[in-house]
Amino acid sequence: MLKAMKYNKKIFSVATHKELVINENIESINLKETERAIGYNGVSIERLLIEKQLEKKPELCLAFEGYILNNPMFHEGAQAGSEFIFSLIDNLMNKCGNLYETIKIVLPMLRGAFSFTIMGGKTVVAARDILGFEPLYWGENEQYIAFVSEKKALWTIGLRDIKSLPPGYIAVLGEGTMNMTQVLSLKRPQILEIDLDAAAERLVALLKKVFSRYFGEISEVNLLFSGGLDSSIMAKVLCNMGINVKLYGAAFEGAHDINAITRSASELGCIVHLQTLSLEEIERYLYRTIYTVEEASVMKAGVGLPLYASMEAANIQG
């Protein structure tokens, strides 16, 4: 499963209740026979989310993706999110009695976009945030029950009937069984009768609050830009906050999106790095996009392809 997701990854780690193996070469990872394991791919040794937890409490190990906004060390990166979750679980375990009951209490305490899997003894618990920003898939057959962040990892071990763990749910795996429980649910917000100007003011105030919390003290951000309403509002608010905004967009040759992107960027007073894709480039990006979104969907490919090209350009240009 780790091999199926190894692109751009440099460190591979696998933990069981018996051992921990960390290696830069996935082909060199050898494990004793085990019924349960948890693995993680990282881009550097600093991103390992399993090693530190095992040093502190060997009977628990955690693999985490995403970010936790109410974590005091949020801007320290993903490892800080892992440490935050682990500390909450560690503090509550004795009170709750078991891992499953502990996660039921911890999940509502977290604010952010995340999914995680934690293993303790013979129990494995998987959880996902209320909005489902971070993917978490699962599948089973007579041999396996497996959770993972990418479908292709399940395909590689022969699982085909793949499902998504619903947002706000917890799944617990025990002795060959799995149960799912809904812990979080969205509530319909109160509808306010206000005029357009008041609504715009509330929106701007909310976005400023979110951006300040998310970006912290940074002075420059890269923004994927389509020239549409959402990305234009975000660019305008960020500029008004004194943040230097670099816009990145992509469109097919001859598409009306090119005029929309360049015109909107000009009206905002921002420079946009625009990728104009030829037919040959579209074919190349289409393969990568479908491999990434893991679904042969015309809609997802149409949305995902320019996003993929824009993010690649932003990464190359810094």
pLDDT of residue 38 exceeding 50, the answer is yes
Residue ranges of the chain that CATH labels 3.40.50.620: 196-317
Identify the pLDDT of residue 69.
Answer: 87
pLDDT of residue 213 exceeding 90, the answer is no
Instruction: Give the helix/strand (H/E) hosting 96.
Output: helix 78-96
pLDDT-derived band at 43, boundaries 50, 70, 90: low
Cβ 14 vs Cβ 41: under 8 Å: no
Rounded CA gap, 114 and 65, in Å?
6
pLDDT of residue 195 exceeding 70, the answer is yes
Higher-pLDDT residue of 97 and 164 is 164
Architecture of domain 196-317: 3-Layer(aba) Sandwich (3.40)
Beta-strand pair 178-182/169-173: antiparallel
**β-sheet bridge partners, residue 144:** none
Q: Which two tokens stand for residue 227?
A: 């020239």
Cβ 1 vs Cβ 156: under 8 Å: yes
Identify the pLDDT of residue 49.
Answer: 46
Residue ranges of the chain that CATH labels 3.60.20.10: 3-182
Identify the pLDDT of residue 289.
Answer: 92
Q: Residues with Cβ < 8 Å from 289, sequence gap 6 or more?
A: 300, 301, 304, 305, 308
- pLDDT, tens digit, for every residue of 233-243? 999 999 999 99
- pLDDT, tens digit, for every residue of 90-109? 889 888 888 999 999 999 99
pLDDT-derived band at 28, boundaries 50, 70, 90: confident
Identify the pLDDT of residue 56.
Answer: 56
DSSP 8-state assignment for residue 252: E
Per the listing, tokens 């604010």 go with 111
Closest CA to 63 of 86, 35, 89, 36: 86
Give phi and psi for 140, each to the nearest 5: -150, 155
Higher-pLDDT residue of 29 and 194 is 194
Q: What is the CATH T-level fold of the domain 3-182, as seen in this structure? A: Glutamine Phosphoribosylpyrophosphate, subunit 1, domain 1 (3.60.20)
